[in-house]
A and B are shown apart, each in its own frame.
Chain A
Amino acid sequence: MGMLQVLSKEFSSFLNSLIAYVVIGVFLMGIGLLMWVFPDTSVLEYGFADMETLFSLGPYVFIFLVPAITMRSFAEEKKAGTMELLFTKPLTDWDIILGKFVASFLLVLFALIPTIVYYYSIYTLGNPVGNLDTPGIIGSYIGLILLAGAFCAVGVLASCITPNQIVAFVAAAFLCFLLFSGFDSVSEMPLWSSNGLFIKQLGILFHYESVSRGLVDSRDVIYFLSLIFLMLSSTKLILASRQW
């Protein structure tokens, strides 16, 4: 109940400020350019009817966009002192954390929805029409949504460690990058010998690729959910210490 109040307030302040429009606009413009205009990544040049561009480059766009959405969530409240207001209302810490997390997550989803138009375009452009790996695309969408959720959780955590939004942004972007492809890259190092796969499995990329193949494995879903839970629990722990 209280969580919904926080959620709707957070979401309406996205809509009241420029944040929502800038984030959605930039995301769609960026992905649109990559998919249809830039020859290196354009579907039209590539010649195969798939949405690989969206799903392989989407995460990198998210690494910058999601922290931009989440950076204000706690940092701004700390700076303005409104944290005290929120924490003296009859709300649990979870109401506040989940309200903020879900609001950011919803905004990212709103940015993703218009890309369904791309699916339709490619569907019609295919030869023959409809020659498209639909289950694969649905899997990829699920992957991207789970990834966005994980990034939002990371962003909320980064925002609660500092009253400075820029620090929150940089920390979140770096952490997202590390989690996304850092483990994957580190696992290539020879010193792990046979444990490389284990290291790889700690990173997001391994699970994201697995889901994107169109085979939604419960283990991958559980990985994402645990990652979100871990990040939000850490946020709660930090908030409970009230050391700011």
Chain B
Amino acid sequence: MSLEINNLTKLYGQQKALNNITFGVNEGEIVGFLGPNGAGKSTTMKIATGFIPPTFGRISVGGFDVLEYPMKVKKVIGYLPEHNPLYLDLYVHEYLRFVGGLYGLSKKKLHHRVAEIIELCGLTPEQNKRIEALSKGFRQRVGLAQALIHDPSVLILDEPTSGLDPNQLVEIRKLIKMVSHNKTVIFSTHIMQEVQALCQRVVVINQGEIVADDTLDRLLQKEGSASAIIVEFEGDVTREQLTQLSGVESVQQMDGFKFRVQPKTGADVRPELFRFASENTLSMVGLKQEESSLENIFRELTTTTTVPE
């Protein structure tokens, strides 16, 4: 089922949280919803799940308007809210049975499904604990498990990895990737790498307006901040030699024979560098892409409008 957001506006009193945003998520697609804190990501998701009403505009899930058919829409959505609220006094399996029951799963089916989802989300060793006794990573898994219990066709995840340690981060991403097969997924984050790890398409929102809606690769090109390449040779190489290579915008000598090569927009200079090395029988001892460009894009897209203090 697809998710359509049309001309959505949300006012909190005088403050515009969302200003006429429009985008869609196709069936079976995973989309990263990116933006700084307070950009309107959670507001959009809260409206999509029917928790709060929009001021103007409409959201439809699988063709059904959220306001007109709330029950129908809520049944097909799996939602992990921001901060992952849970009933801490319940046991893991008890909680999942409760949520499954809300979706109308019959007793027999429920038993089976709870066991299945506990297994899938890696909660087997924790299933007989109270939720309050779980670590943050496991709580996040419980949050995901409750969102998945009814096998929803649309998955809405609000910052599913915030506050996790690097190991848990990788595990949760893996889990999301695994369960998102055949589902329409939209997840919010403010980490660019996360988008890279999980999906291709990204919608960037800033101060309630969409500032980009494209694949990550094309964004990288469009923003003109193609990643710089750090290259290191063993032998004698001058800066001038490298500057003459095709596709090179500028070269900066770092230390020894280590250079920072800034390619022209859209160009990939790595093959060129290799050719250069083999033609001149030079030994290349290092070649790496600077990673900061993702953050650069994020900053460029989300700081265009200055916030008055």
Which residues of A does B touch, CB under 8 Å?
1-2, 5-6, 9, 12-13, 16-17, 80-85, 87-92, 242
Decide: B102 and A91 in contact? CB cutoff 8 A. yes
Decide: A90 and B83 in contact? CB cutoff 8 A. no
Chain B residues closer than 8 Å to A2, beta-carbon distance:
102, 104
Decide: B85 and A90 in contact? CB cutoff 8 A. no
Residue contacts A-B, CB under 8 angstroms, 19 given: A2-B104, A5-B98, A9-B98, A12-B94, A13-B89, A80-B88, A81-B81, A82-B87, A84-B46, A84-B51, A85-B81, A85-B85, A85-B146, A88-B49, A88-B74, A88-B79, A90-B102, A90-B103, A242-B53
Decide: A90 and B81 in contact? CB cutoff 8 A. no
Decide: A90 and B98 in contact? CB cutoff 8 A. no
Chain B residues closer than 8 Å to A84, beta-carbon distance:
46, 51, 81, 85
User: Which are the 8 A-B pairs with shortest beta-carbon distances?
Assistant: A81-B85, A88-B49, A90-B74, A5-B101, A82-B85, A89-B102, A84-B81, A90-B75
CB of A238, distance to nearest CB on chain B (Å): 14
Decide: B77 and A1 in contact? CB cutoff 8 A. no
Decide: B46 and A90 in contact? CB cutoff 8 A. no
CB of A226, distance to nearest CB on chain B (Å): 28
Decide: A80 and B101 in contact? CB cutoff 8 A. no
Chain A residues closer than 8 Å to B146, beta-carbon distance:
85
Contacts of B145-182 to chain A: CB distance below 8 A = 146
CA distance A9 to B95 in the complex (A): 9
- Closest residue of chain A to B49 (Cβ to Cβ) is A88
A5-B98, A242-B53 known; A88+B85 contact, CB < 8 A:
no
Chain A residues closer than 8 Å to B89, beta-carbon distance:
13, 16-17
Q: Does B99 contact A (CB under 8 A)?
A: yes
**Of the candidates A13, A89, A90, A91, which one forms a contact with B87 in the assembled complex, judged by CB atoms under 8 Å apart?**
A13
Of listed B74, B86, B102, residue having the most chain A CB within 10 A = B102
CA distance A91 to B74 in the complex (A): 9
CA distance A12 to B94 in the complex (A): 10
CA distance A81 to B75 in the complex (A): 20
**What 1/0 flags go to B28-68 for Cβ under 8 Å of A?**
00000000000000000010011111000000000000000
CA distance A5 to B87 in the complex (A): 14
**Of the candidates A16, A17, A89, A242, which one forms a contact with B74 in the assembled complex, judged by CB atoms under 8 Å apart?**
A89
CB of B151, distance to nearest CB on chain A (Å): 14
Chain B residues closer than 8 Å to A6, beta-carbon distance:
102
Chain A residues closer than 8 Å to B307, beta-carbon distance:
none
Q: Does B301 contact A (CB under 8 A)?
A: no
CB of B231, distance to nearest CB on chain A (Å): 50
Chain B residues closer than 8 Å to A17, beta-carbon distance:
89
**What 1/0 flags go to B105-130 for Cβ under 8 Å of A?**
00000000000000000000000000
**What 1/0 flags go to B244-286 for Cβ under 8 Å of A?**
0000000000000000000000000000000000000000000
Decide: A82 and B86 in contact? CB cutoff 8 A. yes
With A12-B94, A81-B83, A88-B79 given, can you name 5 additional A-B contacts, CB distance below 8 Å? A6-B102, A82-B85, A82-B87, A85-B86, A242-B52
Chain A residues closer than 8 Å to B219, beta-carbon distance:
none
Q: Does B90 contact A (CB under 8 A)?
A: yes
